[in-house]
């Protein structure tokens, strides 16, 4: 699944870049991931960097990044939505870096964050993902349904 339709041939250049950063410059994959998550660079770069860091460098896509004001864990998918980083969000969605389904708490929280920011591109990616899983109706009903469980 490639929600943003990026050319897979571009992946190799990002693998090489990450290998250089980790092996030659001794940067930690988790630190690079945080920089990518906060990045305002082109979505394709953020997408490939996040995806490769998770798949090849073992970064945990479900790690707790912080606590919100209510003491709830903030996960990478929610952070990507808060930061309106569509590249990282798409990579995390494709890798199913959330617990449950598209109608459960983690995914719905991310969708509500995107909705609150009126981020139509990000909501479109989430809807495309739900549609490809044949769960678009359920996703939309849950999104319109109100409070999280």
- pLDDT digits over 24-68, tens only? 999 999 999 999 999 999 999 999 999 999 999 999 999 999 988
Of 107, 114, 127, which Cα lies nearest the Cα of 81?
114
- According to DSSP, residue 67 is labeled E
pTM of the model: 0.92
Question: Of 43-47, 52-56, 116-120, 145-149, where does mean pLDDT reach its minimum?
Answer: 145-149
pLDDT at 149: 41
Architecture of domain 8-144: Alpha Horseshoe (1.25)
The tally of CA atoms less than 13 A away on the side-chain side of residue 20 is 7
Q: How much helix, strand and coil, in percent to the nearest 5, is found in the chain?
A: 60, 5, 35
Question: Would you kindly state where each structural domain of the chain is located, as residue ranges?
Answer: 8-144
Question: 21: left (phi > 0), else alpha (psi -120 to 50), else beta?
Answer: alpha
The SS3 of residue 90 is helix
71: confidence class by pLDDT, cuts 50, 70, 90:
confident
Q: Is the pLDDT of residue 148 over 50?
A: no
């Amino acid at each position: 699944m490639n929600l943003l339709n990026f050319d897979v041939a571009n992946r190799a250049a990002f693998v090489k870049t990450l290998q250089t950063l980790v092996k030659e410059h001794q940067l930690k994959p988790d630190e690079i991931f945080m920089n990518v998550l906060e990045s305002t660079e082109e979505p394709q770069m953020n997408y490939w960097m996040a995806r490769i860091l998770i798949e090849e460098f073992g970064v945990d896509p479900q790690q707790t990044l912080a606590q919100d004001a209510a003491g709830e864990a903030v996960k990478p998918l929610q952070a990507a939505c808060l930061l309106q980083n569509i590249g990282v969000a798409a990579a995390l969605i494709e890798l199913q870096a959330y617990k449950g389904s598209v109608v459960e708490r983690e995914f719905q929280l991310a969708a509500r964050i995107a909705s609150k920011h009126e981020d139509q591109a990000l909501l479109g990616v989430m809807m495309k993902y739900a549609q490809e899983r044949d769960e678009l109706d359920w996703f939309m009903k849950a999104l319109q349904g109100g409070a999280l469980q």
